[in-house]
Amino acid sequence: MKRCPCPERRRTGPRARAACAGWLLAALLLGSALAQTSPPAAPSPPNAAQDDPLCAGTPELLDVTVSGLYRGVREVRRSAAGTLLEGSALSQSEDGYLARTVTCDGAALALLRPELQVQYDAQALSLVIRPQPLLLTSHTLDLAEVAQASGVSASPVYGLAYAVTADHTFPERPSPDQTAAGWRSSDQVALDAYAAQGRFSGYAGALARWDGERLGVQPRAAVSAEVGPGWQVSASYHADPFSVAGTLGDRDFWGVGLRGSNTGAQLDRLPITLPLDAEVSVLIDGVTITTVQAQAGELLLRSLPVLAGGSQVSVVVTDATGRRVLDRLTSGSLVALPPRGYTLEAQAGMEDGKPYGAAAATYGLSEHWQLLADGKWQNGQGSGSVQAAYVNQARQFSVGTSYDPERGVSVQGTYGRLLGRVALGLNASVPLGHPDLLSVGVNASVALARGSLYTQAVYQPASDLGPWALGAGGYYRVNDDLILGGFVQAQPGRQTAGVNLRWQLKPNLAVSTQATANLGRAGAGSLPDSAPTTVPTTAPPVTGRVGLTYAPSPGRLFSVSAALPDWQQSQLTYEEQRSVSAQVQLTPQGLHAGVAGVVSLVGGQVFTGREVSARTLLVRTGVPDVPLIVGGQPAVTDRRGNALVALDAAARQVSVNLYADALPVNVTVKSDSARLNVRGNGLITLDWRNNFEVSRWVQLFWKPGEVAANADLHLGAHSLPADPDGNVLLPQNIPTLSGTLQTQDGTRQCAMTLTSAGRATCLGQP
C-alpha cells in the first residue's frame, strides 16, 4: 500500500499529527475497497496472518521512545489483544521485546510482548516503552582472561637483605635492701643474600644473637618455586617455608611447604543492566581493565580481579542517552573465593627436633558459602577445626567445630547482621567436655553522621576476672580536625571510664590526650580493643597521657608522650619508612633501636628498599618524596624518585595509588593510580616518570629590585600568572622560553627570556 503522503518529520504540532493520521486512515479505507475487486492474495505465512485480529486496531502516527531513547514518528496499532509497532523502531539487540511479526495491509508490524510496560499519551500522541533488559539476550564477559593477557613479566633481581635490632635496659635504681641491676642487652643481626628469577626465589644467610654474655649464630636458608599457575612449593632450613630474606624470625624448623589456589582473589560475578547498546568500561581501583561494546540486555561480568583486601569496582556505561557510573566497594570477606574456588597451605618437617605438620584449606561452595578446615600436629598432639561460613553484604553467619587437647571438642558459631546504619553481632563457643568454659558475646554498633557508638557484653563463667563484662563507647568528629571519644566498661568489682581527644593542628602535626578513671579492684579487662585491656594491679584512681606527633616529611614521624602519674610509661619515638625501615624508641626504662632494608641489583643498577620478596615492584617517578600506596602498603620515593616495594609472593595483581593532594604545588600528575597484573618472580618495574610533570618557580622583575607582582607572562600559547611576589610556575616541557611580560590591564609590558636561573628581568626598559 502507499504509505502516508504527509511529511513524516516536519510536523509543527498536534494538528499536523492529526491531519497525518487522517491521511493514513483514508489511504487504508481506499486500500480495503480496492482489495474487494482484486484477485485473491497469496496465502500469508502462519506468523504473519493477513486477517490477524490485531490489525483491527486504529493506525496512529506516534512519537515513540524506547528505553529513554527517541525513535521518531512510527506507525502504532493498539487493541485489547496487544500493541503493534513498526519493527524498524527497535534495534536488533531489542528483538527480545517482540512476541511475533504481524502483517497488516501489507506492512510488517511487530507485536510487543505483554510483559513490557507501555505508556500511551493520547494528547501528546506519544508512546513510551520502559526498558526491560531481562527480556533481552544476556552476555558474559570473563575478566580473568583479560587479566592474564595483560600480565607484566618480572626481571631477575639479586641483592642483600639485612635487619638489626638493639634493646638495652638502663640500670635499675636499687632500693635500700637491694643491689643495683646493670645494663641488660638483647641484640640481633640478620644478613641474607637473595635472588629471584622466573619460577624460583630463595635466600641463604645467618641470624646472630647477643644477650650481653653469649653470641649465637644460626645459619638458615629457604628456596621456593612455582610449579603451576597459583601453586608454589618451598623447602627451608632453620626458617619458615616461603619466608623472605632479612627478617629476624628464629623458628627452628626444617622441612617443606605447599600453598596455592585455583584462583586469585576475585569478585565472581557482577551483573550490569544495559537498557541500550552501550560502551562499557570496567575500572578497578581507578584503573581501566577493559572497554567493550555491549548489546542491550544483562551483561554479566565474571572473575573481576579485585584485591584480597577489597577494591573499588567502577563500571562506566555510555549509551545514546548519556553516561552513568556504577560503583561497588568490595570487602575482603566478600571476595575471598568464588564458587568452586579453593586454597590450600601445608607444612611438614621437624620443629624443635620433633615431627610437625599443619594444613589449612578453604573451598567456595557457592557465591556466599565457604567451607574452611585446618589441622596441626605439634609436640606429639593434634588439633583442628572445620567451619562453614556464609557472607553477603548484609548478613554473616558461621558454624563449626574444633578440637584441641586442653578443651576437647568445641562448637562455635557467629552471626552478624547489618540493618542500615546498625550492625549487630553474636558469637558463642561451647566446649562439649567442659561446659564451664562457655563463652558468649553480643555487640551492637551504630554509624552516625559524624561518629559512631558501640556496646558489647561478654559472659565467661570460668574467667578469673568474673563471669561477665559490659562495655560501651564511641567517638564524635567535631570538625575535620577535632575528634572526641569515650568509653565505659564494668566487671564484677571494677568499673573503668575514659575520655580521649585528638586534635589535628596541621596536616603533619597532631595532639592527643587521654584520661582514665579506675574504680574498684584492678585487673585485666575482657573487652577488646575499644578500651584499655590491662590495668596494673596497683593502678591509681586516675591516669592520663598527653602525646604529640609530627611528620616533617612523608615517611618520617616523631612522637612524644608523657604518662601521668606513672612517668615511667612515657616515651620518645622516631620512625622512618622510606628506602629503609628504622625506629628509635627511648623510655625511662631503656632504649630500643632497629633498622632493616635491602640493597638490590637490577640490570646493573643498585636500588634500596625496606624489604624484599619473591616479587618486588620498582616504581620510578623521577620525583622525590612522593607518597604512595602499593598493594595496600605505604611507600615514599627516595631522592632519585624511586620506590622499591615487596609484594605478596602469590600476588597476581598489584595496585599503585598516590596521594595527589600531598604533592608539592609544582608537581602535577596525569593519573593518580595504576594497576599491574604480575607474572613470575623477580622485579616488576612501573615506569611512571611520564605521569609526572614538575614545574619550577621563576621570579619575574620589571627591573632589578622591582618584582612583577600579579603580572602575566605570555610564552607562545601559554599564559602564566604571577603571584603578588612575582613568582610563576614554569611547566617542564614548555616549547619556548621567550615571550612578553605585561600587567593585567596591558598598560605596561616588556620582552623577557627565561633561563635556568630562578629569576628573570625584562629585556630593556618596560
pLDDT tens readout for residues 678-713? 777 888 888 999 899 889 899 999 999 899 999 999
Name which of 209, 271, 261, 202 is nearest 230 in CA terms. 261
- Strand, coil or helix: what is 243? coil
Letter string b/e over residues 134-160, b meaning 16 or more CB atoms within 10 A of that residue's CB: ebbeebebebbebbeeeeeebbebebb
Asked if residue 334 lies in contact with residue 304, where contact means CB atoms within 8 angstroms, the answer is: no
Q: List alpha helices for 38-94, DSSP H.
A: none
CA dihedral 552, 558, 561, 567 (to 10 degrees): -140
| DSSP string of 385-404, one letter each residue | EEEEEEE-SSEEEEEEEEEE
Domain boundaries, the chain: 14-132, 264-331, 349-437, 695-761
What is the chain's alpha carbon radius of gyration, rounded to the nearest angstrom? 36
Asked if residue 402 lies in contact with residue 372, where contact means CB atoms within 8 angstroms, the answer is: no
Question: Which amino acid belongs to residue 581?
Answer: S
Name which of 489, 497, 413, 485 is nearest 455 in CA terms. 489
Q: Are strands 718-721 and 712-715 parallel, antiparallel or unpaired?
A: antiparallel
pTM: 0.68
Question: Burial of 117 by CB count in 10 Å (0-12 exposed, 13-18 middle, 19+ buried)?
Answer: exposed
Please state, in angstroms and rounded to a whole number, the distance separating the CA atoms of residues 657 and 206: 36
In this structure, what are the phi and psi dihedrals at residue 9, rounded to the nearest 5 degrees? -125, 10
Q: ∠ CA 250-253-258 to the nearest 5 degrees? A: 115
- Residue 153: the pLDDT is 64
Cell for 227? 610449579
DSSP secondary-structure letter at 613? -
Please state, in angstroms and rounded to a whole number, the distance separating the CA atoms of residues 102 and 52: 7
Asked if residue 155 lies in contact with residue 602, where contact means CB atoms within 8 angstroms, the answer is: yes
Asked if residue 543 lies in contact with residue 561, where contact means CB atoms within 8 angstroms, the answer is: no
Residue ranges, the chain, pLDDT below 70: 1-51, 144-153, 172-182, 263-266, 268, 287, 306-310, 329-337, 520-539, 650-651, 766
Instruction: Tell me the CA distances in angstroms from 152 to 30, 147, 649, 681, one per residue in order.
Output: 72, 10, 15, 11
Please state, in angstroms and rounded to a whole number, the distance separating the CA atoms of residues 403 and 93: 58
Which residues of 521-555 form beta strands (DSSP E)?
542-553
Cell for 502? 585528638
Sign of the Cα pseudo-torsion (111, 117, 121, 122, in order) = positive
Question: Which amino acid belongs to residue 555?
Answer: G
Please state, in angstroms and rounded to a whole number, the distance separating the CA atoms of residues 129 and 142: 31
| DSSP string of 501-512, one letter each residue | EEEEEETTEEEE
Q: List alpha helices for 256-342, DSSP H.
A: none
Sign of the Cα pseudo-torsion (299, 304, 146, 655, in order) = positive
Name which of 487, 494, 446 is nearest 469 in CA terms. 494
Please state, in angstroms and rounded to a whole number, the distance separating the CA atoms of residues 248 and 254: 16
- Strand, coil or helix: what is 263? coil
Instruction: Tell me the CA distances in angstroms from 201 to 153, 256, 607, one per residue in order.
Output: 15, 15, 18
Question: Which amino acid belongs to residue 354?
Answer: K
Query: What superfamily would CATH give domain 264-331?
Result: Outer membrane usher protein (2.60.40.3110)
Asked if residue 135 lies in contact with residue 274, where contact means CB atoms within 8 angstroms, the answer is: no
Sign of the Cα pseudo-torsion (315, 318, 323, 324, in order) = negative
Cell for 751? 620582552
Name which of 507, 563, 22 is nearest 572 in CA terms. 563
- Residue 66: the pLDDT is 92
Please state, in angstroms and rounded to a whole number, the distance separating the CA atoms of residues 261 and 341: 7
- Residue 250: the pLDDT is 80
Please state, in angstroms and rounded to a whole number, the distance separating the CA atoms of residues 484 and 475: 6
